[in-house]
Structure 1
C-alpha cells in the first residue's frame, strides 16, 4: 500500500470497506474523529469546509454537521450545503467508533429518502502509524450504488488526504 492509498472492497454487495495507513500514532488519529475543532479542519472533500460541527461523543450521542462548498471552481456545487447526522452506538477509545450515519437537514431531521449507513471504524496501532479500517454497511446493494454514484469514493479519498495532511502538520 503506497502513501495516501485507500484500499477499497465490497462485501455482500452492500458493505464498503476502506483501509488506509496514516503516518501518525493511533491516539492522535482517533482524536481527529472525536473533537469538533479537529474535524472542522479536515472533514469533507477538497474545496468544502465545515461551518457547523457539534459532537456529543458518547454512545447515544449525536454528531451534527454541515459541509459547505467554498470553491468557486466546483461550479454548481459552489455555495451548496450538505448536512449530516451521526448517532454513536459504540465507542472504545482509541480502538473503535461505531455510528449510524444519515443525511439530515439543518435541524437534524433525518432525510429518509437518502441511504443511511452503519459505520464501524477500527483504529489499528502499527507502532507509530495507524491503519484505519472503515466498514460502511448499507441496507441494500442499491443504497450502496446510490452513494457511489454520488462520488462518495472520491469524496472520502479527498477527505482522508486532508486528514493525512493535518496529521503531518501536527506531528
Structure 2
C-alpha cells in the first residue's frame, strides 16, 4: 500500500488480488460491505444503500463495548467498475450530517474519489480524499490526522483483502 498526503488530501493506493468488478461490488453492495467496511473490531449494520448519484449509504458501526457511531456516503459519480465518487460524513440515526464523535474540528464532509484499475487480474485501487469546504482549523486538523487515517484505512483495506480471499 502506498500513501501520500498533502495538506488537503489523503491518497492511498493498494493492490487487491481480485478482479476489479468484484472489488467494485465490494464497495457498492450491502452484502459485501457488511463483511469488511469500517475499523477493525467494529460491527457494521447497513441501514440503507441507494447506489445512484444523490443516493445514500447509511450505516452504523458498533464497538465490542457497545459504543455506536453512524455514518453515511452520499454518492456522486458512479462508473462501474472504474470509478466511485462519494462524500463521507458522520451522521445520526436519521442520516443527518453531524460532527465526528471524537473532535469538534474534524471536517463535516470528506469527498472521496476511488478509481479501480485492472492489472493482470488484480485491482489497483486509488483513493483520494479531502475535506469539503473546510475552515482553516478543520483543514489543519485533517492534515494532523493523516498518519492515523492511513493506519485506519490500512486496517480496513486489510479486512477487504481477507474478505476477497474468502470469495476466491
Relative to the length of structure 2, the TM-score reads 0.87
Structure-to-structure mapping, 1:34-73, within 5 angstroms: 34-70=28-64
- Aligned twin of 2:76: 89
| 8 Å CA contact retained: 1:40, 1:50 | yes
- Return the offset for 1:147: 4.3
| 8 Å CA contact retained: 1:40, 1:53 | no
The reply to whether residue 167 of structure 1 matches residue 160 of structure 2 is: no
Structural RMSD (CA): 1.6
| Distance (Å, rounded) in 2 between the aligned partners of 1:67 and 1:147 | 20
| 8 Å CA contact retained: 2:16, 2:161 | yes
| Distance (Å, rounded) in 2 between the aligned partners of 1:39 and 1:8 | 23
Q: Which runs of 5+ in 2 are unaligned?
A: none
Q: Mean Cα displacement is larger for which, 23-32 or 154-163?
A: 154-163
Structure-to-structure mapping, 1:86-125, within 5 angstroms: 86-112=73-99, 113=104, 114-115=106-107, 116-125=109-118
Secondary structure of 1:50 counterpart: strand
Describe the shift of the 1:148–1:23 C-alpha distance in structure 2 as closer, same or farther (beyond 3 A): same
| Distance (Å, rounded) in 2 between the aligned partners of 1:32 and 1:93 | 12
Secondary structure of 2:121 counterpart: coil
- Return the offset for 1:137: 1.5
Number of aligned residues: 157
Could you report, residue by residue, the CA deviation over 1:9-60 in whole angstroms, capped at 9, with x for unpaired residues? Answer: 013x111100100000000000000100100011112111102342100111
- Aligned twin of 1:27: 21
Of residues 7, 22, 31, the one that matches 2:2 is 7
- Aligned twin of 1:136: 129
Q: Which runs of 5+ in 1 are unaligned?
A: 1-5, 71-77
